[in-house]
Amino acid sequence: MKIGNLYAYRINPIDFGWEYLRSAESHRKQLATAFAEHKNSDERDDALTVIKEFEELYNAAMDAGHKVGWEGDFRIEPRVGFLPAEVSLAIYVVWKQDNNGDTFVVSPMEMPWLGEISL
């Protein structure tokens, strides 16, 4: 389902492979480390923009998840993955709900294969 600039999918539980995705918390730490390591203000400003964009995506993903049936709990905390885009990588957010284990995927890129199996 398209929600604003994002595509949100609710699919049957995914039980395996979560260890191959980076946690949202780990991604935040990596972004913060990159910000702290930059020496000049232009690089820090760019790194701060990336942090803000991620937080906006994350918050929008949680909102979109609610719109497709997420009840607000986690069995598996949000993870991030990356898809090839035109000139960069597009980040998506995926998590598993505790109640019934449904999996939620929110991405700025359409994933038609998920649309075919959405609940």
Which parts of the chain sit beneath pLDDT 70?
A: none
Query: CA 119, CA 45: separation in Å to the nearest integer?
Result: 41
Q: Tell me the per-residue pLDDT of 58-77, one tens digit each, with 9 for 90 and over.
A: 999 999 999 999 999 999 99
Assess contact for 64 and 6: CB atoms under 8 A.
yes
Kindly state the tokens that stand for 3. Answer: 């929600």
Long-range contacts, stretch 52-55, CB < 8 angstroms, 24+ apart: 54/27, 54/28, 54/91
Kindly state the tokens that stand for 10. Answer: 């609710």
Q: What is residue 90's predicted lDDT score, i.e. its pLDDT?
A: 94
Contacts of 48 (CB under 8 A, 6+ apart): 35
Query: CA 63, CA 38: separation in Å to the nearest integer?
Result: 32
Residue 85's domain comprises 2-115
Strand 6-11 relative to strand 89-96: parallel, antiparallel, unpaired? Answer: unpaired
